[in-house]
Structure 1
Amino acid sequence: MARILVIYASLTGSTEIMAESIVEHIKDDHDVVVKTFDFDPIDAKELKNFDGILIGSYSWDDDIPFEVEGFHDDMDEVDLTGKLVGVFGSCDSYYDIYGPALDTMAIKAEKQNATVFEEKLKIELEPDPDDIKHCQRFADEFLKEIKK
């Protein structure tokens, strides 16, 4: 049983829907802790207590949301060697860059020596039923990678 942290920021509720679908899909077989950047204190040093970390964020414009900035900076203090980090979130193709917050978080995790899960799960705006299934497949593949 893997210990998984799911942390996310959601502006319109779309990334929250994604996070909830992932958590519901894996919570019976794994020890899952869920936190939101908006409401829960998140100490980046806690990341060392988990086998896998899933970071969800909405993206707009060309940077990470303000709710995520402090955590992003605090990650500089954490060596994530041996940890698997995946990113997911709601994106908007209206902007010049699609899902930049996810790319930024993946780059930070990589700089901290984490293994970054290959797929960056980017869903256009609000997830539909097919997108929810994609979230569940993403979670399954993420967990398979942890078991390797």
Structure 2
Amino acid sequence: MAQHPLNAQVVFATITGNNEAVADIIIDQLKQAGLSVKKSEISQTEVEELQQVDIAIIVPYTYDQGSLPDEGLDFFEDLADVDLTGVVYGIAGSGDLYYGDTYCLALDSFEKQIQPTGATQGAEIVRINLRPSAEDAVILKLFTDQIIAQAQALQ
């Protein structure tokens, strides 16, 4: 069986632009690795789209005291009802360490929500404080490389 080129979708939610910056770094890394990548804003994305890709990366922000992005609630709830067997996922996002215990809490919520879908975790959650730095880009490259390797192993 010939391997097909991997494809990915990066779904993001942002208020400040920091999470879109995280998503863009991930997308650049995926493209450099030769993948076809679709970028979509969470409120404009149906969870069923993730059934069409090898890799799904979700980049949500955490609002207020650990809340999910309002515009991502439908997407979050719909995740409970989709079968993503064969899809490798990753979750990353920006937060503000100022919020202490609720720092990047939405990332954990999304991980709990996606686990029962049959998707395979490709890498540990990556939490970025505020706008991603050059050091964060290195961490995100490792995150992306791990996810790609996992997806290749599943082919």
Normalised TM-score (structure 1): 0.92
Distance 1:80 1:108 in 2: 12
Residue 133 (structure 1) shift: 1.8
Taking the aligned partners of 1:37 and 1:4, their CA distance within structure 2 comes to 15
Is 1:115 paired with 2:114? no
Contact 1:63–1:104 (CA under 8 A) maintained in structure 2: no
Point out 4+ residue stretches in structure 1 off by more than 4 angstroms: none
Equivalent pairs counted in the alignment come to 146
SS in 1 for 2:67: coil
In structure 1, C-alpha distance between the alignment counterparts of 2:116 and 2:67, rounded to whole Å:
17
Looking at secondary structure, tell me which structure has more strand per residue: 1
1:42 aligns with 2:67: no
Which is richer in helix? 2
Q: Secondary structure of 1:119's match?
A: coil
Q: How far does residue 2 in structure 1 lie from its aligned partner after superposition?
A: 0.7
- Residue 26 of structure 2: aligned partner: 22
Deviation at 1:138, TM superposition (A): 1.2
Deviation at 1:105, TM superposition (A): 0.7
The equivalent position to 1:99 in structure 2, one of 92, 95, 104, is: 104
Q: Distance in 2 between matches of 1:111 and 1:63?
A: 21
1:13 CA displacement: 0.9
RMSD after superposition: 1.3
Query: Is the CA contact 2:93–2:127 (under 8 Å) kept in the aligned structure 1?
Result: yes
Offset, 1:98 = 2.3
Structure 1 residue runs without a partner (length 5+): none
Name the TM-score, length of structure 2 as normaliser. 0.88
> Pairwise mapping of residues 1-148 of structure 1 onto structure 2 (< 5 A)?
1-28=5-32, 29-38=34-43, 41-60=44-63, 61-95=65-99, 96-148=101-153
Write the deviation string for residues 108-132 of structure 1: whole angstroms up to 9, x where unpaired: 1102221123410100111111111
CA offset at residue 33 of structure 1?
0.7
Report sequence identity in percent.
29
